Amino acid sequence: MKKLEYDLVIRNGRVINPALGFGQVANVYVKDGKIAKIDKESAASRKALAGYPEEQIIDAADHIVTPGLIDIHVHLREPGREYSETIVSGCKAAAWGGFTSLCCMPNTFPAIDNQETVQFVHARAAVADARVYVIGAISKGLKGEELSEIGDLVKAGVVAVTDDGNYVQNSDLMRRALEYAMMFNIPVVTHAEDMQLCGEGHMNESFESTRLGIKGRPSVGEVIAVIRDAKLCEFVGGRLHVAHVSTAGAVAAIRQAKAAGVKITAEACPHHFVLTDDMIGKSFDTNLKVNPPIRTKKDIDAIIEGLIDGTIDCIASDHAPHPEEEKDAEFDKAPPGMLGLQTTLGLVKTFLIDKGFLSWADAIRKMTINPARIMGLPGGTLNEGAPADITVIDPERKWTFKEKDILSISRNSPYVGWKMSARAAYTIVGGKIVFGR
């Protein structure tokens, strides 16, 4: 029997490798969980692959082949809230959505503020359908009072620190976090909302919040928080990453900080470039409640401009599951958050690529190599020797997101019934097909 040289071959796809600026029809060869080579289809390659069994060949004609998508802002809820999501269920949803790597946030119960909890997450993730990287807590218990043992967290394998869900109100504590993180060359991720301004609000402060009688979270709260943290980063010299940017003012502040040489990066989430606050009054759907809140058309335009000009470096989902019994409440009583792993790719294609704001290459860069570089992850490329984490995308697949498609334990998506224009066809992690066929 002929000995097969490769474990998996993806043939005739349009290969986008943002690390090399490569974008042409080619074959991707996988061996021992790594990228072995990329070359163009030829008579010689067809002859060499003639004896390969069907299960080792993926025909990617009319498809796009990219590095595995990376989402650096995901809430997997485990430990402590397994009734909302588990690491295994979240990673199944990720694979369905084309994501091969996730960074999970530390606002679990208990918080991920010690080595033991990091190790727990790693153990659970070992049998999951995506790679899971852990972001540790800046402060013990996410209380904003005392720094976590950041050195111990790094030894346990965290790739960044954040108090996501909470703004570090204490400026000195944030300064110290930036200083300690700089020692270990990891970023500090800020949830930029001044809670003295925003803490009691439930939606964007605007005409709509006044009309609906719902207390708002003013956009200036995000802007002030971004400016403070950018100035602290400039003073300290560390690395700052701004999570889920939602306002025009924050985009402008980040752009200004970058121009001044501050080591600052930022992410945008689909709900902040797709949804507007005037949608809330039409249904009072609590799945539209997120923090920071969905804003206005002016803010969407600014975020899209930030994605276009590079002010915003990457796209993340902020996947935040909540069970139906928690979301089935009055708007001001419901917890903030929505699902995102299974819809992010479709929303990016439908609302950014189809509308001409980003090319496929631009979008893939913001969902692969850029997040990998921000968090220091090994993926994000199809270079020879890189992990064989690969997403095969059907770029013109028209589909409707249905509740039966949801693989998360929770169901809190505002996008059920939405039509989208692309989705993942295969998701491959370490050379293993975890979604497809």
List residues with catalytic annotation.
Answer: 318
Residue 83 CA to residue 135 CA, distance in Å, equals 21
Distance from C-alpha of 308 to C-alpha of 112, rounded to nearest angstrom: 34
Instruction: State the Cα–Cα distance between residues 244 and 71, nearest whole angstrom.
Output: 12
Alpha-helical regions (H) of 313-359? 324-327, 344-348
Cis peptide before 270 (omega within 30 of 0): no
Pseudo-torsion of CA 312, 205, 320, 187, nearest 10°? 40
289: helix, strand or coil: coil
Number of other residues whose CB lies within 10 A of the CB of residue 375: 24
CB-based burial, 228-253: b 16+ in 10 Å, e otherwise? bbbebbbebebbbbbbbbbbbbbbbb
Give the separation between CA 259 and CA 417, rounded to whole angstroms.
Answer: 41
